[in-house]
Amino acid sequence: MPNATNIALIPLLPLAGFILLGLFGRKYGKNKAGLIGTALLLGSTLLALYTAYDYFFVYGKVNGVYQQFVPLKITWLAFSKEMSIDMGLVIDPISVMMLLVVTFVSLMVHIYSLGYMKGEERFPTYYAFLGLFTFSMLGLVLASNIFQLYIFWELVGVSSFLLIGFYYDKPSAVAASKKAFIVTRFADLGFLIGILVLSYFSGTFDFQTLIARLTSPESNEVKTAVASTFLGVSALSWGAALVFIGGAGKSAMFPLHIWLPDAMEGPTPVSALIHAATMVVAGVYLVARLFPVFSVTTPAVLEIIGWVGAVSAIIAAVIACTQTDIKRVLAYSTMSQIGYMMFALGVSHYGGEAGLGYTASMFHLFTHAMFKALLFLGAGAVIHSVHSNEMKDMGGLRKKLPITHFTFLVACLAIAGVPPFAGFFSKEEILLAAYQHNTPIYWVALITSGLTAFYMFRLYFSIFWNKPREVPGEHSAATGNHGEGGFVMMLPLVLLGTGAAAAGFIPFGEYVSTDGKALESHFHLSFSIAPVALGLAGILTALWMYAKASDRPAKLAASLGGLYRAAYRKFYIDELYLFITKKILFNLVGRPAAWFDRNIVDGLMNLTGNTTVLVSERIKKFQSGKVQQYAIFFLGAVVLLAVLFIYVWK
């Protein structure tokens, strides 16, 4: 059986770090803060590893099926006998898998930041925030109750806000953190309503009970939920769709993705941790957690999820091809890969072989965390060395940053889906699932995978090969005297690189599947030819265009004209949002509301205030501070009252 103390300690150690560093870090632990945070997280990681080993190989499997355990459950807020918000821990394949991912990537980022953030003024604060984030993310992963998940969901949002806005004296970082917070809050509103709808019809917040009640078509809960409709759609579908909106907001799915590229204003390790490997997959995790409900009861919503994922994947891939800021390229790449995970869930079904998409999605989540964190950390090393995010300031760095170069190449190969790197296996499974269940999505995914290879290698060649365009000797990368950063920055790169290269060989289907039974992953060699060929084509195109400085990219951009410009401007989605919020919302809703507030609400307040002032102006003479005057009033009043009581009101 799972050991509740060990598992509870996994999120609590980073929390302890947060409290410790948050309260005392600035005063006492200026230099020790990073080491303390890292040490605590190392403890967490070891516990997570132990838990995973214990679960997958010792007690988890009963009769060939991985069971779900709830080793700890504390009723925190009981609304009624059935409805209560609990604080619990849930142990099942996906939560254990996520535990591993979160603690491992977080540990890598902690170690990496020791070098990257060195000398930062608010170093302890940074580590405190990292601890808070890790705690909330782990709490989210382990939540046994949908409301508990929501609480940690919001905590994750807050810590993400804090970390994006870490450089709070930079206006763009402040704006980005606000944008991220508002957009995800907006989506969370949908999530909250979705939670309320689902729990209203199922009568519980508890995941196990909720899923059990909402997935058996004969149950009363499903019948009433299906019977009550709104705008012709059953309440249950509304609930599921709203929950998905929350997930889409957090996971930066189209059209709620606009915050993710801006979130790159945060420190680069933070981008690696939050906006690549962990927080943004929370939406995927949420859908996976409620997957039985989606697939059994509301297949229509699952269909929507699939298409949202596919559209996000291809749009993001196209945009990524045109961006010049390397972190933005990676951001769009993240969005694209999460789109993959989403549509993999969308094309999946519950149980058996048909659940391949689910397994593939989780597998891709796992591998993606490795290589995307690696890419970001590598990009961080590059930025650390050239002090710029722009591609044009880079080039020819392969000699100067050999380890970074090598690990970055591994990550690029992994994400491009070149065998035998990790991305290949997970992507093949996703494509296979899509091919089996939804052909249009398969084609979209196939094109996207070609684009992925292209833009990743565009990035790779631009950074490490393409000679700088400036005249040598002027401000060029070669003259910078920053090395690769120390051992602490290279160690995570190497570890993650190993993961990105080897993680694909884990027989993932055996551990994670929709129903807990082992799932055989098949390899159809003939099936793999198309995506791999496309990937190689993308790489070769990138090689042809970017390996040497040339005017080929510019020519191509010119020939594509409008499309290029539209993609470069991110398909004008930001502008559209601005138009809607500024022109429509502000003018039509904000202005009248402001007028009403200023004139009616404030007017009433001012009226009462002014009346009071007027009255008090009149009567303040009475309070002169002269004792004798008071005494006269007092005596006069006593005499008057005496007369009244004795003669008038006998």
Partner 1 sequence: MINGSTILFYLLAALTLCCGILSISTRQIFRAAIYLLFSLIGVAGLYFWLAYEFIAAVQIVVYVGGIVVLIIFSIFLTQQAGEKLPKQRLDRKIWATLAAFCGFALTLLQVVQHEFPPVIPQAPVTVRGIGEKMLSTGAGGYALPFEIISMLLLAAMVGCIVIALRSKPETK
Partner 2 sequence: MMEPGLYHILFISTALFFIGVLGFLTRRNLITMLMSIELILNSVNLNFIAFNKYVWPGKMDGLFFTLFIIAIAAAEAAVAIAIIINLYRSSQSIDVNNAEDLKY
User: Of 280-288, 290-298, 355-363, 629-637, which part binds partner 1 (CB under 8 A)?
Assistant: 629-637
Binding piece for partner 2, criterion CB under 8 A, among 225-233, 475-483, 513-521, 625-633: 625-633
Stretch that binds partner 1, among 47-55, 515-523, 574-582, 630-638 (CB under 8 A): 630-638
613 sits near partner 1 (criterion: CB under 8 A): no
Rounded alpha-carbon distances, angstroms, from residue 164 to 158, 236, 329, 369? 10, 35, 17, 19
Task: Judge whether 37 and 130 are in contact, CB under 8 Å.
Answer: yes
The 402-421 contact track toward partner 2, x by CB under 8 A, reads --------------------
Contact with partner 1 (CB under 8 A) among 65, 589, 594, 643: 643
Does 618 bind partner 2 (CB under 8 A)? Our answer is no
Q: Which residues make Cβ contacts (< 8 Å) with residue 350, sequence separation at least 6?
A: 291, 292, 295, 296, 514, 515
The one among 537, 580, 607, 642 contacting partner 1 by CB under 8 A: 642
CA dist 249 and 580 (Å) reads 18
Residue 576: contacted member of partner 2, partner 1, none (CB under 5 to 8 Å, by partner type): none
639 binds, among partner 2, partner 1, none (CB under 5 to 8 A by kind): partner 1
Please pick, from the candidates 1, 62, 619, 627, the single residue that binds partner 2 as defined by CB under 8 A. 627
Rule CB under 8 A: is residue 628 a binding residue for partner 1?
yes
Rounded CA-CA distance 112/378 in Å is: 10
Q: Strand locations in 318-416, DSSP E? A: none
635 binds partner 1 (CB under 8 A): yes
Q: Which stretch binds partner 2 (CB under 8 A): 33-41, 58-66, 570-578, 618-626?
A: 618-626
Helix axes 33-54, 93-116, angle to 10 degrees: 160
Q: Candidates 210-218, 569-577, 610-618, 630-638 — which segment interacts with partner 2 by CB under 8 A?
A: 630-638
Contacts of residue 220, Cβ cutoff 8 Å, sequence gap at least 6: none
Segment lying near partner 2 (by CB under 8 A), choices 222-230, 305-313, 397-405, 626-634:
626-634
SS3 at position 86: strand
* DSSP codes of every residue in 615-645: HHHHHGGG----HHHHHHHHHHHHHHHHHII
Interface pick for partner 2 out of 77, 605, 613, 635 (rule CB under 8 A): 635
Residue 641 interacts, among partner 2, partner 1, none and using kind-specific CB cut-offs from 5 to 8 Å, with: none
Q: Which candidate, 572, 405, 574, 385, places its Cα nearest to that of 497?
A: 405
Q: How far is the CB of 618 from partner 1 (least distance, A)?
A: 21
The long-range contacts involving 585-589, CB below 8 angstroms and separated by at least 24 positions, are none
Site string for partner 2, 569-608 (x = CB under 8 A): ----------------------------------------
With binding defined as CB under 8 A, does residue 607 bind partner 1?
no
Of 556, 632, 641, 644, the one binding partner 1 by CB under 8 A = 632
Q: 627 contacts which partner out of partner 1, partner 2, none, CB within 5 to 8 A by kind? A: partner 2
- Contact window for partner 1 (CB under 8 A) among 13-21, 144-152, 209-217, 639-647: 639-647
Distance CA 142, CA 74 (A): 13
Q: Helix H segments across 55-122?
A: 93-116
Q: Is 616 in the site for partner 2 (CB under 8 A)?
A: no
- State the number of binding residues for partner 2 (CB under 8 A): 10
Q: How far is it between the farthest Cα atoms of the chain?
A: 116
Least Å distance, CB 113 to partner 1, is 55
Q: What whole-number distance in Å separates Cα of residue 181 and Cα of residue 414?
A: 31
CA angle 448, 450, 455 (to 5 degrees): 90
Q: Under the criterion CB under 8 A, does residue 628 sit at the interface with partner 2? A: yes
Using rule CB under 8 A, residue 623 touches partner 2? yes
Q: Which residue has the tokens 């925030």?
A: 129
Residue 574 contacts residue 258 (beta carbons within 8 Å): yes
Task: Say whether residue 625 binds partner 2 (CB under 8 A).
Answer: yes
Rule CB under 8 A: is residue 641 a binding residue for partner 1? Answer: no
Between the CA of residue 316 and those of 51, 332, 568, 607, what are the distances in Å?
Answer: 36, 5, 11, 55
Minimum Å gap between C-beta 617 and partner 1 is 24
The count of C-alpha atoms lying within 13 angstroms of the C-alpha of 467, restricted to the half-sphere facing its C-beta, is 9
> Residue 645 interacts with partner 1 (CB under 8 A)?
no
* Least distance to partner 2, CB of residue 629, Å: 9
Which of 586, 624, 643, 644 lies at the binding interface for partner 2 (CB under 8 A)?
624
Residue closer to partner 2 by CB (options 610, 624) is 624
Q: Distance (Å, rounded) from C-alpha 510 to C-alpha 520?
A: 7
The stretch near partner 1 (CB under 8 A) out of 27-35, 264-272, 496-504, 632-640 is: 632-640
Helix (H, G, I), strand (E, B) or coil at 65: strand
> Do the bridges between strand 229-230 and strand 233-234 make them parallel or antiparallel, or are there none, so unpaired?
antiparallel
* DSSP calls for 203-232: S--BHHHHHHHHH-TTSHHHHHHHHSEETT
Minimum gap (Å) between residue 624 Cβ and partner 2: 7
Q: Is residue 559 at the binding interface for partner 1, with CB under 8 A as the rule?
A: no
* Residue in this structure with the two tokens 């300690």, named with its chain if needed: 9
> What does the alpha-carbon distance between residue 123 and residue 302 come to, in Å, rounded to a whole number?
43
Using the structure block, give the residue that is written with the tokens 């996971």: 251
Q: Which does residue 625 touch among partner 1, partner 2, none (CB within 5 to 8 A, set by kind)?
A: partner 2
Four-CA torsion 310, 315, 316, 319, nearest 10 degrees? 160
In the block, tokens 């382990």 appear at 142
Phi/psi for 145 (5° steps) reads -135, 140
Which of 232, 626, 647, 648 is close enough to bind partner 2 by CB under 8 A? Answer: 626
Check residue 632 for interaction with partner 2 (CB under 8 A). yes
The first and second tokens of residue 365, run together, are 């989540």
- The reply to whether 642 sits near partner 2 by the rule CB under 8 A is no
Cis peptide before 124 (omega within 30 of 0): no
Residue 119 in contact with partner 2, rule: CB under 8 A? no
Distances (CA, A) of 237 to 240, 349, 426, 522, 577: 5, 17, 30, 33, 27
- From the CB of 629, what's the least distance to partner 1, in Å? 8
Looking at the Cβ atoms of 550 and 624, the one nearer to partner 1 is: 624
Q: How many residues bind partner 1 (CB under 8 A)?
A: 9
Judged by CB under 8 A, the residue of 631, 640, 641, 644 near partner 2 is 631
Partner from partner 1, partner 2, none contacting 643, C-beta within 5 to 8 A by type: partner 1
The whole-angstrom separation of Cα 31 and Cα 45 is 23
Instruction: Select from partner 1, partner 2, none the partner in contact with residue 608, using the beta carbon and a kind-dependent cut-off of 5 to 8 Å.
Output: none
Contact residues toward partner 2 (CB under 8 A) are 623-628, 630-632, 635
Q: What does the binding site for partner 1 look like in residue numbers (CB under 8 A)?
A: 628, 632, 635-636, 638-639, 642-643, 646
